[in-house]
Chain A
Amino acid sequence: MAEPARVGLLRRLLRNRAALAGLAVIAAYVALAVGAPWLAAYDPSQNNLALRLHPPSLRHLLGNDELGRDILSRLVWGARTSLAISLGAVAFAAAVGVPLGLAAGYYGGRLDGLISGAVEVLMAFPGILLALAVVAIFGFGVFRLILAIGVYSVPTMAWLARGSTLDVAHMEYVEASRAMGGRNRRIMLRHVLPNILTPIIVQGTLRLATAVLTAATLSFLGLGVQPPEPEWGAMIASSVAYIRVAPHATVIPGIALMLVVLGFNVAGDGLSESLDPATSRLG
């Protein structure tokens, strides 16, 4: 049963040109992040004041920043930082949110009331506020940023896992394993979890876009990755003072950021359309 469904999904995905373009952008982004040590031509932290704010040239394809550092090399290393933060944040959100949602949906009753209540309170506020509160409490830096953005996505993940579990919990195969005396924990892990993974993966892809964007925003505000560590939002922040004389230093990291977010958004949309053609948007 599962095999033809998966082949169909792949075929639908391959026919969706926008989704393919999104996946290509994501692949390039991951390749940059993974291959940073080999792909970057220069040391991302090496200052060269002779080349301060130089526009793009043949030796420095994307120009140099306010300390003469090679922007392309910083961009490549920055991809690594941003991918690590966003993957870490989404993994954290899934690791906390999915078990909470699973337990709430499976057990129901007072446990569900408690978890759903907390999630609803958190979902009433934009995530950036939660992220700011975490940053205000714990301070700045890569790991705190992962925590801040992860906390941001926990309510969404928990809500989704709860909803999907409710759909699955009354399926015959779940009832059957319960009737055969299966233990709750085993049923949840063996029968419920594998069947709610698909929407969670789609949501995870879309959350990666939000995570990349939030990480860059917080770093831009000075509340995330701290200089001289190469990070796209921080790169934009440090170049703002020179926006009049060297706009390329501000514009280029922003284009990279936008392309990646666009890639995740388009791929996430395509993935959810291919998984469930009935919900595909008009046109």
Chain B
Amino acid sequence: MAPVVLVVVTLVFLMLHLIPGDPAQLMLDPSATQQEVAALRHQLGLDQPLGRQYAAFLGRLLRGSMGTSFKTGRSALADAWPSFQHTVELAAASVVFAGLAGIGLGVLAGARSRSPVSALVMVLALLGVSVPTFWLGLLLIIVFALKLDLLPAGGAGSWQALVLPTITLGSFSLGVIARITRAGVAEVMHADYVRTARAKGASERAVVLRHALRNALIPVITITSLSFGYALGGAVATETVFAWPGLGRHIVDAILARDYPAVQASLLLFAISFLIVNLLMDLAYALANPRITYG
């Protein structure tokens, strides 16, 4: 993982240098004087040789700093941190929702693979992966916030405010998880041990939950943990729709304002959290299946 982190850090550093033109000029008002541009270049360290800039960047990073946000004048990392926590909260809620609902629907459909429920689950799964996240969010707002007045249309701070963004962000993974669970359960429903369990007189419910689901669960665990990574990425659109004060919204605002230190800090936080999720997923996978070893 360490080399990947270094690559990511280097890419984030180089970002500022890939911008066509002078970043200092771009960040300032077009009417800014030459002195003001030069002062900003100095403040950003852009007047230093690239190697020295890189060393300074790494040094600052080790001290937990990524420069100052142009918009707020505060530490870009400290600015992004509360947003990051909001995103993790939303992403976690959406994974729990997608996991529970997806596995539930998948089991229902897989246990009776030729029933109308099964067809309905397949349609829902297909819609889940095809519906644009941000548009689904807007539809939910129209129905549940504007027409029925049941839930708030945006903001954060209460469990009610979490409901619609969670459903919006979870819908894609819900579809994928339901589809995988259905396929897994349908496959093992005809396995010998399931037939044996039935022959021993176990109830259909026990057969499905205790025997079929347990053996169909490993790929589902993988997909569910993958969906956490997806949720972190999908948060960008969802947070904008629901005015959720997360990292996705933070980075979009920073890009629109050309606040490069804020963009860099957000990208780095996003990237590191993906790496951590990937690492945890590998560990969970190894725990679930002891035959896998990582050398």
Contact = CB atoms under 8 A, between A and B. Distances in A.
A243 B230 CA distance: 28
A129 B271 contact: yes
A124 B141 CA distance: 33
Interface stretch (B38-46, B79-87, B155-163, B249-257): B249-257
Nearest to B236: A128
A126 B229 contact: yes
Contacts of A211: none
A135 interface: yes
A213 B267 contact: no
A266 interface: yes
Given A135-B255, A250-B142, A254-B135, A217 B237 contact: yes
Nearest to A247: B142
Interface stretch (A1-9, A88-96, A175-183, A220-228): A220-228
A121 B11 CA distance: 11
A132 B142 contact: no
A124 B236 contact: no
A282 B232 contact: no
A217 B233 CA distance: 12
Interface residues of A, number: 39
B240 interface: yes
Interface string B269-294: 01100110010000000000000000
Contacts of B255: 132, 135-136, 223
A275 interface: no
Contact of B139 (A125, A132, A133, A254): A254
A96 B146 CA distance: 46
Nearest to B129: A265
B127 A262 contact: yes
Nearest to B231: A126
Contacts of B132: 213, 216-217, 220, 233, 254, 257-258, 261
Interface stretch (B15-23, B52-60, B63-71, B96-104): B15-23
B130 interface: yes
B138 A236 contact: yes
A121 B271 CA distance: 11
A240 interface: yes
Contacts of A251: 139, 142
B147 to A, nearest CB: 9
Interface string B145-186: 010000000000000000000000000000000010011001
A266 B122 CA distance: 12
A27 B182 CA distance: 31
Contacts of A209: 130
A138 B271 contact: no
B4 interface: yes
A110 interface: no
B89 interface: no
B263 interface: yes
Contacts of A213: 132
B32 interface: no
B251 A132 contact: yes
Contacts of B19: 137-138
A243 B141 contact: yes
B131 interface: yes
A220 B7 CA distance: 30
A194 interface: no
A59 interface: no
A109 interface: no
A223 B252 contact: yes
Contacts of B187: 282
Contacts of A133: 11, 15, 267
A221 B234 CA distance: 12
Q: Which of B126, B130, B230, B275 has the most CB of A within 10 A?
A: B130
A214 B89 CA distance: 24
A265 B179 CA distance: 14
B25 interface: no
A282 B18 CA distance: 47
Contacts of B146: 243-244, 247
Contacts of B232: 126
Contact of B183 (A221, A223, A283): A283
Contacts of A243: 138, 141-142, 146
Given A137-B15, A251-B142, A217 B133 contact: yes
Given A126-B234, A250-B138, 14 more contacts: A126-B232, A127-B233, A128-B234, A132-B255, A132-B267, A133-B15, A217-B132, A243-B146, A254-B139, A257-B135, A258-B135, A261-B132, A281-B183, A283-B122
Closest 3 A/B residue pairs (Cβ): A126-B233, A254-B135, A262-B130
23 contacts: A121-B4, A126-B229, A126-B230, A129-B233, A132-B236, A132-B252, A136-B15, A137-B18, A217-B133, A220-B132, A233-B134, A236-B134, A247-B142, A254-B132, A254-B139, A261-B130, A281-B179, A282-B113, A282-B186, A282-B187, A283-B122, A283-B182, A283-B186
Interface of A: 121, 124-129, 132-133, 135-138, 209, 213, 216-217, 220-223, 233, 236, 240, 243-244, 247, 250-251, 254, 257-258, 261-262, 265-266, 281-283
